[in-house]
Amino acid sequence: MSRGIGHEFMLRTQYRYLERSDQQKGKPRPPFEEPFDESQPLIPLPDPASLDVPDVNLRELIERRRSVREYSRQPFTLAELSYLLWCTQGVREITARGSTLRTVPSAGARHAFETYLLINRVQGLEPGLYRFIASRHSLLTVTTHPQIAVRVTRACLDQDHVAQSAVTFIWVAVPYRMTWRYGERGYRYLHLDAGHVCQNLYLAAESIGGGVCAIGAFEDEAINRLLGLDGEEQFVIYVATAGKKG
């Protein structure tokens, strides 16, 4: 059997092939968050601690966790969305070195993701596409075009639960945040970090009566284009639908 691109990737990202990283060359670290238009109004999210989450045993959460593709029509509250965002990318501290400590692990605390949200049913929010500004724990409106849910669903190979969810999480990788320190091996860590984030979403949603389905099948160019990404310096790495269980 011939060896393909996957094998070549794993081979060429071994330490013996790595060159000096930009960090080792003394180049400045990239910002921990992509810039945004400060003149645009932000939508502040409730304090995630304000949500009364039922006491639940971690083992029970893990045992109950399943991928859920069918959701009730019940919306998430804004407080529930705030809680899910906090559990997946919440900033606990901005360090003096200009990095962040968050609620999920990340190689070298690089936290190379931005979170976009397709909002379908969240109380207090107009349906549309939003970006989570983690440093402010707020949302920024990207578009409320009436066809955005249809277009995102189409880019996700017509998986119906994208449009039927209460919210669909779209995680965008900014690879230079990771490769600045780790060189080409950093691309491995992006995929590991995506798993950490999505598992937190599964467990957090389960704790409030919700369900999640992770999605790795999407048309890269199409979904990147919808979000205005170039597919190289920023690209969609993972998607997950979430909603209240039926």
pTM of the model: 0.97
Report the C-alpha dihedral over residues 164, 216, 115, 168, rounded to 10 degrees. Answer: 0
Would you place residue 128 in the very low, low, confident or very high pLDDT band (cuts 50, 70, 90)?
very high
Mean pLDDT in residue range 4-20: 96
On whether residue 84 sits in a domain, the answer given is yes
Q: Examine residue 191 and state whether it is found in any structural domain, yes or no.
A: yes
Q: Is 234 contained in some domain?
A: yes
**Is 22 part of a structural domain of the chain?**
no
Taking only the tens place, the pLDDT of each residue in 94-127 is: 999 999 999 999 999 999 999 999 999 999 999 9
Over 80: is that where the pLDDT of 1 sits? no
DSSP per-residue codes, the chain: ----HHHHHHHHTSGGGPPPPTTTTTPPPPPSS----TTSPEEEPPPGGGS-PPP--HHHHHHH--B---B-SPPBPHHHHHHHHHHHH-EEEE-TTS-EEESS--GGG---EEEEEEESSBTTS-SEEEEEEGGGTEEEEEE--TTHHHHHHHHTTT-THHHHSSEEEEEEE-HHHHHHHHGGGHHHHHHHHHHHHHHHHHHHHHHTTEEEEEE----HHHHHHHTT--SSSSEEEEEEEEEEB-
State both tokens at 100: 């962040």
Measured distance CA(93)–CA(138) in Å, rounded: 16
Contact present, 210 and 242 (Cβ < 8 Å): yes
* % of the chain residues with pLDDT over 70: 99
At residue 3, does pLDDT exceed 90?
no
Domain of 205: which CATH number? 3.40.109.10
Contacts of 149 (CB under 8 A, 6+ apart): 118, 120, 127, 162, 163
Residues spanned by the domain of 225:
65-244
β-pairing, 235-244 vs 42-44, is unpaired
The span from the CA of 107 to the CA of 56, in Å, is 29
Quote the number of domains for the chain: 1
Confidence band of 90 (pLDDT split at 50, 70, 90): very high
Domain assignment present for 41: no
* pLDDT tens digits, one per residue of 185-209: 999 999 999 999 999 999 999 999 9
Confidence label for 246 from pLDDT (cuts 50, 70 and 90): confident
Residue 11 maps to a domain: no
User: How confident is the model over 209-218, as pLDDT tens digits?
Assistant: 999 999 999 9
The answer, yes or no, to whether residue 45 has pLDDT greater than 70, is yes
Residue 81 domain flag = yes
Structure-block tokens of residue 158: 């017509």
What is the chain's length? 246
Residue 137 is assigned to a structural domain of this protein: yes
pLDDT digits (tens, 9 = 90+) for 130-149: 999 999 999 999 999 999 99
Q: Is the dihedral of CA 122, 126, 128, 131 positive or negative?
A: negative
User: Quick one: average pLDDT of 167-190?
Assistant: 98
Mean pLDDT of the chain: 97
